[in-house]
Amino acid sequence: MNLRKVQDADLNEKKVLVRVDFNVSLDESGNVKEEFKIAAAKETVEYILSQGGKVALVSHFGRPGGQAKEEFSLEQLVNDAERILGVKIKFVSDCLDENIARELEDLQDDEILLLENVRFYAEEESNNSEFSKKMATPFDVFVSEAFSVCHRDQSSVSGVAKVLPSFAGLWLQKEVKNLEKLRNNPEYPAVAIIGGAKIETKLPLIRKFEENYDHILVGGKIANEAIDQKIEFGEKVILPVDFAQDRFDIGSETIENFEKIISGARTIVWNGPMGKFEEKPYNTGTKKILQAIIESEAFSVMGGGESVQILEENGAMDKISFVSTGGGAMLDFLSSQSMPGLDVLND
């Protein structure tokens, strides 16, 4: 893809709307658990500020159903976001607030705005054109830094991008570069590891990898579903030969088979756990596969909320070549599905 890049935008004294993904989980104390998703925007925010731009961030958070609900307010993320991004944040209680332009003018050099949850409006998910125009009104430039929602055709993803000069953020560029390499030009032997649930969402990806990867290792609930439904695959697709108790994890022989294939790989992409990893002892398969990837010499990419959780829990975020913020977006990109949020940035 030939994306328009934020580095090519005139940002000096411009009001810049940046679409980020702050749809993170919180712990019992209300602290952010998925700091990685917020940190992904840091480099772009710093770059825009360094070029003299004024920044407002917009995101969704949870599923408020088109209504303003306090439990889904982005205001509760302000303190953590300030710490992670290293800037001061002024919260604006409505993403369509008529005072946004003035708030931007009044920002200090080390301050940015965070607008309220865009999904408080039902028009966001229906990609209402008038809503997109209203959201765009206070701004001069739009920057997309939320790869994880680029498979959605929504106002803050693709709608505003059609109204304003629009560009890909620095992290988004990395996402596309690394995932294009996986999809179009992997170094061989290439291995895809597909786990998790919902065989119907993962099947198109498995079929796509059958075209140009050497091995597709299938675990997790989708392996159970594939076996139960007697889905037929070619010889590249390798299903488990044994399981842990109640089929909540892959078995020791399967782990050994998978480890052997992983050890010889030059490219590895992994999406979805091998079992019910949140419960011991059903995390064994997932941990063993992760360790095999770390010990390999392959270019490795992982993506999706569960995958990031696995890495964070095992202190392995810096041991994988690239970690994608995308779950569904990563699946759709790799299986060549429509990506409205990228198409609108593509020259």
CB 154 within 8 A of CB 127: yes
CB 238 within 8 A of CB 214: no
Residue 121 identity (one-letter amino acid): Y
CA dihedral (276, 281, 283, 285) positive or negative: negative
| Cα separation, 104 vs 81, whole angstroms | 18
- Kindly indicate the confidence band of residue 248, based on its pLDDT and cuts at 50, 70 and 90: very high
CA dihedral (171, 339, 193, 236) positive or negative: negative
Any domain includes 76: yes
Kindly state whether residues 207 and 307 are assigned to the same domain. yes
Q: What is the pLDDT of residue 339?
A: 96
- Kindly indicate the confidence band of residue 316, based on its pLDDT and cuts at 50, 70 and 90: very high
pLDDT at residue 99 greater than cutoff 90 = yes
Any domain includes 219: yes
Site of tokens 């590895």: 268
Kindly state whether residues 23 and 167 are assigned to the same domain. yes
Whether the upstream peptide bond of residue 281 has omega within 30° of 0, thus cis, is: yes
Which positions ≥6 away from 234 have C-beta within 8 Å? 210
- Kindly indicate the confidence band of residue 165, based on its pLDDT and cuts at 50, 70 and 90: very high
Q: What is the pLDDT of residue 46?
A: 98
C-beta neighbour count of 295 within 10 angstroms: 12
Helices and strands (H, E) in the chain, number of each type: 14, 12
- Residue 236 per-residue DSSP state: T
Kindly state whether residues 117 and 32 are assigned to the same domain. yes
Kindly state whether residues 234 and 143 are assigned to the same domain. no
Kindly state whether residues 18 and 111 are assigned to the same domain. yes
What number of residues does the chain have? 347
Kindly state whether residues 140 and 208 are assigned to the same domain. no
CATH of the domain at 218: 3.40.50.1260
Any domain includes 112: yes
Kindly state whether residues 19 and 167 are assigned to the same domain. yes
What is the residue-wise DSSP string for 80-144? HHHHHHTSEEEEES-TT-TTHHHHHHT--TTEEEEE--GGGSHHHHTT-HHHHHHHHTT-SEEEE
pLDDT at residue 305 greater than cutoff 80 = no
Q: What are phi and psi of 346, to 5 degrees?
A: -95, 125
Any domain includes 239: yes
Structure token digits, residue 285:
């398969």
Any domain includes 27: yes
CB 44 within 8 A of CB 54: no
Q: What is the pLDDT of residue 245?
A: 84
Least confident range from 135-144, 164-173, 271-280: namely 271-280
Q: What are phi and psi of 244, to 5 degrees?
A: -75, 180
- Kindly indicate the confidence band of residue 134, based on its pLDDT and cuts at 50, 70 and 90: very high
Which of 142, 171, 200 lies at the terminal end of a domain, its last residue?
171
Query: What's the average model confidence in pLDDT over 316-324?
Result: 94
CB 95 within 8 A of CB 121: yes
Domain count, the chain: 2
| Cα separation, 87 vs 216, whole angstroms | 43
pLDDT at residue 126 greater than cutoff 80 = yes
| Cα separation, 199 vs 201, whole angstroms | 5
Kindly state whether residues 17 and 163 are assigned to the same domain. yes
Any domain includes 180: no
Q: What is the pLDDT of residue 8?
A: 96
- Kindly indicate the confidence band of residue 246, based on its pLDDT and cuts at 50, 70 and 90: confident
CA dihedral (193, 312, 145, 58) positive or negative: positive
pLDDT at residue 87 greater than cutoff 90 = yes
| Secondary structure element (H or E) that encloses residue 310, with its range | helix 305-313
Strand pairing class (190-194; 267-271): parallel
Q: Which of 275, 267, 278, 213 is nearest to 246 (CA)?
A: 275
CB 1 within 8 A of CB 346: yes
Any domain includes 339: no
Kindly state whether residues 134 and 40 are assigned to the same domain. yes
Domain of residue 217 covers 186-334
Residues 4-35: tens digit of each pLDDT: 999 999 999 999 999 999 999 898 888 898 89
- How much is the mean pLDDT over the chain? 95
Q: What is the pLDDT of residue 327?
A: 86
Could you tell me if residue 346 is left (phi over 0), alpha (psi between -120 and 50 degrees) or otherwise beta? beta
Any domain includes 193: yes
Residues 220-229: tens digit of each pLDDT: 999 999 999 9
Kindly state whether residues 123 and 193 are assigned to the same domain. no
Kindly state whether residues 152 and 209 are assigned to the same domain. no
Kindly state whether residues 228 and 155 are assigned to the same domain. no
Which positions ≥6 away from 332 have C-beta within 8 Å? 151, 338, 339
